[in-house]
Amino acid sequence: MTPHEQTITSAAEGMAKGTFSSQDLTQAYLDAVNGRNPSLNAYLTIFNEEAIEQAHASDARRREGKTLGVLDGVPIAIKDNILIQGERCTAGSKILDKYVATNDATVITRLKDAGVVFLGKTNMDEFAMGSSTEHSAFGVTQHPRDPDRVPGGSSGGSAAAVAADLCCAALGTDTGGSIRQPAALCGVVGFKPTYGRVSRSGVIAMASSLDQVGPFGKTVKDAALLFETIQGVDTHDQTTAPTKSFKPTFPEKLRGVKLGLPKQAWGEGMSEAVRLRMQEAVEGLRWLGAEIEEVDLPYADEALAVYYILMPCEVSANLARFDGMRYGLRERADTLLQTYGRSRAHGLGEEVRRRIMLGTYALSKGYYDAYYRQARKVQTLIRRAYDQVFDHVDALITPTAPSTAFMVGEKVHDPLAMYMEDIYTVGVNVAGLPAISVPCGDFEGLPVGMQVIGKRFDDARVFDIAHAYEQAKLH
C-alpha cells in the first residue's frame, strides 16, 4: 500500500510505528491530488502550504508524546459548504466564488482539536442541490473509474476524492441522500447520522430541518472514527440533541439481528444490476446469521413528494440572504431591486433558481395549506410508519441508488429523472434517521451500494451491521 492509499486506521498505525510521518503522508496525497485533480475536478481548493504546516505540527506533537488521538496527522478533504476560517468557501456557486470564511464550522473545530490535516475543499452541486455534481458552477466532477460518468451528488467531490485515493476520508453533507448516493456510485462508505447528532453550525444551509454533516470513508470503521469525532451537542446549534455515547461493537456475525426488506423499495425503478447485487447482499446477511423478513412501510412512496415540497420551501428561505449585499457577488444596478435581481441572476445557477421558485410558490398565500402544511402532515405519518416498523426489526435494508453511475449529461436536463435518483434515500432525511451506504459489489466495473437504515439515535447499530457485512464481503 503506497502512502496515498491509506485508510484512517492504516495511516494512524503507520505514523505510530514510524513507517512514515504525517508530512510524508500529506505530501504523498498532495502530489496525487495535484497530479489527478485537473482532470477529475474533485477539489475546488487545494491547501498545499496549509496542509504541510498542519502535518509538521502533528509530527512535532508525536515526537513530544502529545499525540491528540487516532486522527492526529491524518489527511482528509472537506465539502465546500463547510466553513474553514480564512479559507475560500463557495458552496459550488459563483455567487460565493470569492467568499472567505470568517469562522470555523463546529465540525471543523472538533477535527482541528483532533489534529486532522485538511487537504482542501471538494466540489459539489451548487448549494448542495443535485444528484450528480453536474450543477456545480465550477464544472462536473468525473467518476473515478469512468470519466464519462458522474460520481453522484451533491457531495460528489468528496466521494470521488475518497474513491480515487486523494484523501484518507472526507466530510460531506446529506439533505436527501447527498452522502449515501455518491458513496454508492463511487464504491465507498458514506454515513448520514441521525438528525441532531452532528452540529450544522458553520455549514451553509440548504434545508435546515433535513441537512446533516457526515463522513465518507474507505471502510466502515474509518467512517465511524470520523463520525465519533464530529458528533455531539453544540451550544451554537439548538437542534443538536444530547444522546447516549456512541459505542459500536463491530461484530463479525449478525445472529439475533432482525432486518426488514421494505417491499416498497423492491419494485419498479431498480435496475437489474442493482437488483442482482442486492439479492446477493441479502443472502450474505442471511449467511451472517441475520433474520430477514419483508416488511410494509406505509407512505414510503410519498416520501419523495414530501421531500421535494419541504426542501424547496426551506431553500427559498435560506437562500434569501444571498442578495449581493452583505457578501458574495454583487452586480451593481440603478436600483436596489435591480441589484438584487442581477446579482442573483448572474450568481445562482438554473437548478438553484428552480428550487427557490418552487419553494416560494409552495409558501405563497393560497398555496401554503395545500402544499407545505399538507407535506408536514404526511411527514409525521412517514415518521410514525418508520417507528412502527422498528418495533419489529432492528434495521432496514434497501438499495442506496436505483442504478449504477449514469453518463454525464444523461439526466441533467430532466429534473424529474434526476430527482428519482433520491428515491431510496430521501425517506431517511424526512424521518431524521441514521443510514449508511456500504459497497456490495460491482456490475460491469461500476459499484453498487447497499443501504442500512436504523431507528433514531441507533447510529451504532447501523455501523455494526454495515461492518459485519463489509468484513464478510472482504473475506
- The one catalytic residue among 154, 201, 316, 343: 154
Residue found under cell 453511475:
405
Residues 6 or more apart from 97 whose CB is under 8 A from it?
90, 137, 328, 329
Q: Answer yes or no: are the C-beta atoms of 166 and 33 closer than 8 Å.
A: yes
Whole-angstrom distance, CA of residue 141 vs CA of residue 135? 10
Q: What is 126-154 written as a DSSP string?
A: GGG--SSSTT-TT-PPPPSS-TTB---SS
Q: Answer yes or no: are the C-beta atoms of 234 and 104 closer than 8 Å.
A: no
The pair phi, psi for residue 458, each rounded to 5°, is: -100, 40
Q: Is residue 17 flagged as an active site residue?
A: no
- The one catalytic residue among 21, 158, 178, 403: 178
- Grid cell, residue 167, equals 484523501
Q: In terms of Cα–Cα distance, which of 314, 368, 321 is closest to 344?
A: 321
Q: Answer yes or no: are the C-beta atoms of 452 and 463 closer than 8 Å.
A: no
Is 414 strand, coil or helix? coil
Q: Is residue 154 flagged as an active site residue?
A: yes
Whole-angstrom distance, CA of residue 462 vs CA of residue 32? 33
Q: Is residue 98 flagged as an active site residue?
A: no
Laid out side by side, the sheet with 189-192 consists of: 43-46, 117-122, 75-79, 169-174, 212-217, 189-192, 435-443, 446-454, 395-399, 258-262, 291-295
- The one catalytic residue among 21, 22, 58, 79: 79
The residues annotated with a catalytic role in the active site are 79, 154, 178
